[in-house]
Amino acid sequence: MEITVESLKKITFFKEFDSVTIEKILKISKLQEFDVEEKIFDEHQKLIDIFVLLEGKVILGINVPGKGKINLGTIHPGQLFSWSALFPPSISTAYAFADVPVKVLSIKASKIQELIGDNDTFGYKFMKIIGQTLSKRLSDTRFQLINMASV
Amino acid sequence: MPVTENIYEPVKAKLTNIIDESPLIKTLVLVPEKEFSFKTGEFIELTLNGIGEAPFTPSSSPLVKDKLEITVMKAGYVTGKIHQLNIGDVVGIRGPFGKGYPLEKFYGKEVLIVGGGCGFAPIRSLLYKLIAEKEKFKKVIFCYGSKTPKDCIYKTLFKELRNIEKFQVLRSVDMADEPWDETIGVVTVLLDQIKIDINNSLAIVCGPPIMMKFGTIRLLEMGYRETDIYLSMEKNMSCGLGKCGHCMLGDYLVCKDGPVFTYNEIKGLPDIWR
Amino acid sequence: MTQYYLISKENWDKILNELLGKYDVYAPVAAEDNQDYRFILQDDIHQIIYNTPKPATPLKIFFLPVKENVVKKSASENPRLIIGSPSCDLAGLDLLDKIYLEEPFVDKFYQQRRENTILVGTSCFSTLEHCHCSSYGIKPFPEKNHDISLSVLDGQVTLQINSDKGKNFFNEINHNNSFGEAEKQELEKIDTLRVSVTKELSKTNQGLPDYSKTGELIKDTKKDIWEKYAKTCVSCGACASICPTCTCFLLIDRPGFEKIRQLDGCQYPGFEQVAAGEDPLEERFVRFRNRYLCKYVWKPEKYESIACTGCGRCIEACIGNINKNELFRELLT
């Protein structure tokens, strides 16, 4: 699978960026593949990359004392995960593993921070997408919280 | 139109089968003494002799005339008693009441259905109708959420739906405490994955109040018009006739003017998500 | 079509006496501390009080009994003659008719009683505490929903025939031609009294917002004022049971698939509670507010009909001494 600017343009995450910007992101990214059940990152682990899922399905979860691993979320193609990498101390808030064979675009967080520092407009757009992603996830988590509390 | 001349008098119906759908949910198959037809989305009052009455939207196809099915979640006193019924028992039904789904408004459109928990019951009836008339709709996307895989009802129906052209089905569970190869998360998470032409689409939401609330908010964020979001309001419908007052929702009586409302119709009323 | 007839009180009582077997006759009589409808027997005829304001019981109870088996049909009732209904109660029938006679769900019990009842309304020649019909556009004399309007003055009974049913009934009681036509003079005397009662009402209720204004006032009111006035509410539901337009009910199941329709009210806890336990009217002040929003905002929007006729019974009945009119006046300031 070759990743091109054109192929990334079709992904929700990149929809607001122009070709030049995507090209820049592509330069600091690489394609990574994970096999079924393979760990992508652990909970409370130092993160270096942020990920955009290209193919497959990723499960997020946390370890609960006395209960073990509890899977709490699913990442579908086009969605971002590992956003904590962008924010020091860049420690993961959940574990992630591949539920089926997956392909992810891993983007160097330090390099993204450089791009953001160089270009305010890019920085705004990028952080807006992160903000929107987190806002939605927060709302869903509240919904989930209420659901689980009402069992 | 009601089937009895006296609006308060139930028609007797025989319970011919009971299907366990989940630990808390059962489906009852009822054969009424008289032919009993309903439009999808209309509801009935089920009477337990001498015990009480409760409203349910039939979960069976409106095209089937000689029997009907209701799916009941054990939640309170009457539903608890319903769960104790046995095959062969006789119950009473009154109705049908309320307004069904305005299907003709859905023709030519992409129909998005968002359901949760026992809210699947009215949706199943709607799905049967949509399947029967599938040439009239552009596509049907059904997003269904339940608490755990065990709580997911009508499991066999999903297999059928996935083999029907124009139909797409996505499922989520809040918590996967047993193997689950679909989405983990709340039902709104599924809405990120669908491809739909929002300008030529409408959304139907049916589920517990908390799901209706979060679902509606997400649909509005996605760009759905307030007039294109159809909600099934849960209220304490008692008489079904627009008289007893128990299901008043502002200047609406849910039993008569609903139970399906557009968000636009009810958004201004106090405490609609309660 | 209106026609006025006159008869002496003495002869009117004789006519009533003749009617007792044929009709179930109800009329207000005075008791120690109130006045209320009574099933009239021969001895009661001379005790009937005329031209008096609201009997303690609202008229609705004659059409929607507090408790009734609505599946097992009761034997058909005798025709009824109800004498002495004030115009507030008659005006309340507008809303009841809309709710209970609405197609396709016609309530046959209500319908049969409405058809089976001859309503003899009365002009109020005096007022009682809390009477405020005129503030809501209702005159203190019958204008609608009745068959005959009756006034007793100076030993003379004047009947005003106001419906076909009233006309037939009049023909029945006038078979001996015992009635004469009422003269202008009698009618003028009645008019004078009507005018003076109307004036008295507007004086005692000065500054009270009218019906639609009340709706506007309470529509978007903050919860503080409702909490303030609901403080002494004990959810007894007296306001609703005594109200001529509150007819919410509960269906109670009985063996044999029978159902009892029992008068209910939104002031009782659990009125709107659903099976899962959620209750939109859980808080007392919300229930309290609900009744007023229903009466002044939702019912008029839904049925294009007034849902408070200003009889003031709810103020009188309130165990917590809550006066809705004080609340509305406070909102106005």
Instruction: Name the average pLDDT for chain A.
Output: 92
Final residue before a domain boundary, out of B65, B97, B129: B97
Average pLDDT, integer, range A87-97: 94
Q: Is the pLDDT of residue B273 over 80?
A: no
Predicted local confidence at residue C33, as pLDDT:
83
In a domain, B245, yes or no: no
Cα distance between residue A137 and residue A123, in whole Å? 21
Q: Is the pLDDT of residue A1 over 80?
A: no
Residues B68, B23 within the same domain: yes
B185 touches chain A (CB under 8 A): yes
Look up the ipTM and state it: 0.87
Residues B120, B225 within the same domain: yes
Q: Given an 8 Å threshold on Cβ–Cβ distance, is C108 in contact with B5?
A: yes
In a domain, B266, yes or no: no
Residues B116, B214 within the same domain: yes
Per residue in B119-140, pLDDT (tens digit) is: 999 999 999 999 999 999 999 9
Predicted local confidence at residue A147, as pLDDT:
85
The radius of gyration of chain A's CA atoms, rounded to the nearest angstrom, is: 16
Predicted local confidence at residue B48, as pLDDT:
96
Average pLDDT, integer, range B155-167: 92
Q: Which residue shows structure tokens 């004080």?
A: C326
Per residue in C156-174, pLDDT (tens digit) is: 999 999 999 999 999 999 9
Between A65 and A34, name the one with better pLDDT.
A34
Residues B110, B219 within the same domain: yes
Cα distance between residue B205 and residue B231, in whole Å? 5
Per residue in B89-104, pLDDT (tens digit) is: 999 999 999 999 999 9
Q: Is the pLDDT of residue C196 over 80?
A: yes
C150: confidence class by pLDDT, cuts 50, 70, 90: very high
Predicted local confidence at residue A15, as pLDDT:
85
CATH number of the domain that residue A93 is part of: 2.60.120.10
Between A126 and C74, name the one with better pLDDT.
A126
CATH number of the domain that residue B56 is part of: 2.40.30.10
In a domain, A30, yes or no: yes
Residues B115, B227 within the same domain: yes
Please give, one letter per residue, the 3-state secondary structure of chain C: CCEEEEEEHHHHHHHHHHHCCCCEEEEEEECCCCEEEEECCHHHHHHECCCCCCCCCCCHHHHCCCEEECCCCCCCCCCEEEEEECHHHHHHHHHHHHHHCCCCCCCHHHHHHHHCEEEEEECCCCCCCCCCHHHHCCCCCCCCCCCEEEEEECCEEEEEECCHHHHHHHHHHCCCCCCEECCHHHHHHHHHHHHHHHHHHHHHCCCCCCHHHHHHHHHCCCHHHHHHHHCCCCCCCHHHHHCCCCCCEEEEEECCCEEEEEECCCCCCCCCCCCCCCCCCCCHHHHHHHHHHHHHHHHHHHHCCCCCCCCCHHHHHCCCCCCHHHHHHHHHC
| Cβ under 8 Å to C: B residues 108-137 | none
Average pLDDT, integer, range A73-90: 93
Q: State percent of chain B over pLDDT 70.
A: 98
In a domain, B248, yes or no: no
- Shortest distance between the Cα of A49 and any Cα of chain B, in A, equals 23
Q: State percent of chain C over pLDDT 90.
A: 86
CATH number of the domain that residue B111 is part of: 3.40.50.80
In a domain, B64, yes or no: yes
Cα distance between residue C294 and residue C314, in whole Å? 15
Predicted local confidence at residue A82, as pLDDT:
93
In a domain, A137, yes or no: no
B189 touches chain A (CB under 8 A): yes
**Number of domains forming the structure of chain B:** 2
**Minimum Cα–Cα distance from A100: chain B residue:** B181
Predicted local confidence at residue A66, as pLDDT:
85
Average pLDDT, integer, range A22-40: 95
- Pairing of β B43-48 and β B52-56: antiparallel
Average pLDDT, integer, range B26-43: 94
Q: Is the pLDDT of residue B189 over 80?
A: yes
Residues B80, B113 within the same domain: no
Residues B60, B132 within the same domain: no
Predicted local confidence at residue A65, as pLDDT:
87
CB atoms within 10 A of CB B49: 17
Which residue range(s) make up the domain with A11? 5-110
Residues B121, B169 within the same domain: yes
Q: Is the pLDDT of residue A44 over 80?
A: yes
A132 touches chain B (CB under 8 A): no
Which residue range(s) make up the domain with B15? 11-97
Cα distance between residue C224 and residue C300, in whole Å? 25
Tokens describing residue C72 = 């097992």
**Number of domains forming the structure of chain A:** 1
In a domain, A134, yes or no: no
Of B7, B75, B248, nearest to C105 by CB-CB distance is B7
- Shortest distance between the Cα of A141 and any Cα of chain B, in A, equals 8
Predicted local confidence at residue A11, as pLDDT:
86
Average pLDDT, integer, range C282-301: 95
Q: Residue C100: CB partners within 8 Å, gap ≥ 6?
A: B243, C63, C64, C106, C107, C110, C111, C247
Predicted local confidence at residue C162, as pLDDT:
94
Average pLDDT, integer, range C28-56: 93
Cα distance between residue B13 and residue B87, in whole Å? 11
Residues B60, B149 within the same domain: no
Residues B111, B93 within the same domain: no
B47 contact residues in C (CB cutoff 8 A): 253, 257, 259
Asked if B188 contacts B215 with a C-beta cutoff of 8 angstroms, the reply is yes
Per residue in C76-126, pLDDT (tens digit) is: 788 999 999 999 999 999 999 999 999 889 999 999 999 999 999 999 999
Predicted local confidence at residue B236, as pLDDT:
87
Cα distance between residue C291 and residue C305, in whole Å? 16
In a domain, B28, yes or no: yes
- Shortest distance between the Cα of B210 and any Cα of chain A, in A, equals 7
Residues B148, B205 within the same domain: yes
A149 touches chain B (CB under 8 A): no
Q: Given an 8 Å threshold on Cβ–Cβ distance, is C257 in contact with B209?
A: no
Predicted local confidence at residue C280, as pLDDT:
87
Per residue in C45-84, pLDDT (tens digit) is: 999 999 999 999 999 999 999 999 999 876 578 899 999 9
Q: Which residue shows structure tokens 């021969």?
A: C42
Please tell me the number of Cα atoms within 13 Å of A94 on its side-chain side: 16
Q: Given an 8 Å threshold on Cβ–Cβ distance, is B188 in contact with A71?
A: no
In a domain, A151, yes or no: no
Residues B76, B123 within the same domain: no
Q: Given an 8 Å threshold on Cβ–Cβ distance, is A74 in contact with B184?
A: yes
Predicted local confidence at residue B209, as pLDDT:
87
Instruction: Name the average pLDDT for chain C.
Output: 93
Asked if B220 contacts B194 with a C-beta cutoff of 8 angstroms, the reply is no
Final residue before a domain boundary, out of B74, B97, B120: B97
Average pLDDT, integer, range A1-26: 87
Cα distance between residue B12 and residue B47, in whole Å? 9
In a domain, B30, yes or no: yes
Q: Is the pLDDT of residue A124 over 60?
A: yes
